[in-house]
Amino acid sequence: MTLPRTIVFDLDGTLVDTAPDLIAALNYVLDREGLPPVPFESARSMIGAGARKLIERGLEVDGRVTSADDLNRLTREFVDYYADHIADASRPFDGLEAALDELAAQGCRFAVCTNKLEWLSKRLLDQLDLSRRFSAICGADTFGIAKPDPIILQQTVARAGGTIGATIMVGDAGPDVGVARRAGVPVIGVEFGYTDVPIAELKPDRLIGHMRDLPAAVEGLRKAPPPS
């Protein structure tokens, strides 16, 4: 495998520690419904499948079942609040920018493939001065498809100007490993993200515990023999 020209990242729990602001928005919506807040550590593992799923999981904690219309309303309220507070406490994971600098110097390009809405993803990355680093930023609404459907990854790579055969996926949870496997792309798992199933159990091709380890993981995949 030659050095991948495109490295595609998940956003929440991979590039940026967004949990504080996502959980604040969730608990804002729950409070408006007269429900107690979800504790931080419990809510952290609920992140990763988009706002609607996060709200569904938050309601389930209190045993609440809601109608589709109410869930749509709550999702709108969540998005409105979250958009105004999207970078109050969210920050890039330690070592991210140095890792991107090192990989960019080796000729890699970068893209984001997330189940977050595209405009929210861009707003977050704009506020953190990270958008300029990515050739494409694609969300679940960009193509009307969410991870783990491989089409979202294939289309993200195409939009970034890359080829799927020269791509690596980096993510923190099942949808990231799943989309990579379905697209035939190697995947690096990060241990510091948000997942209800430990990332190691999902058997990514490489596993890292800090962003400083990302360039070495990419290099390891470059040198790995092709699958038999």
| Residues ≥6 apart with Cβ < 8 Å to 188 | 168, 169, 170, 171, 204, 205, 206, 207, 208, 214, 217, 218, 221
| Three-state SS at 127 | helix
In this structure, what is the dihedral angle of CA atoms 79, 82, 84, 86, given to the nearest 10 degrees? -130
Tell me whether residue 129 is one of the annotated catalytic residues.
no
8 A C-beta contact, residue 179 and residue 138: no
Annotated catalytic residue within 10, 12, 17, 149:
10
* Dmax (CA) of the chain: 56
C-alpha span between 88 and 86 (Å, rounded): 6
41 by Cβ neighbours in 10 Å (0-12 / 13-18 / 19+) ranks as exposed
C-alpha span between 208 and 217 (Å, rounded): 7
Burial 160-189 (b: 16+ CB within 10 A, else e): bebebebbbbbbbbbbbbbbbbebebbbbb
C-alpha span between 218 and 62 (Å, rounded): 42
Taking residue 109's Cβ as centre, other Cβ atoms within 10 Å add up to 21
Catalytic machinery residues = 10
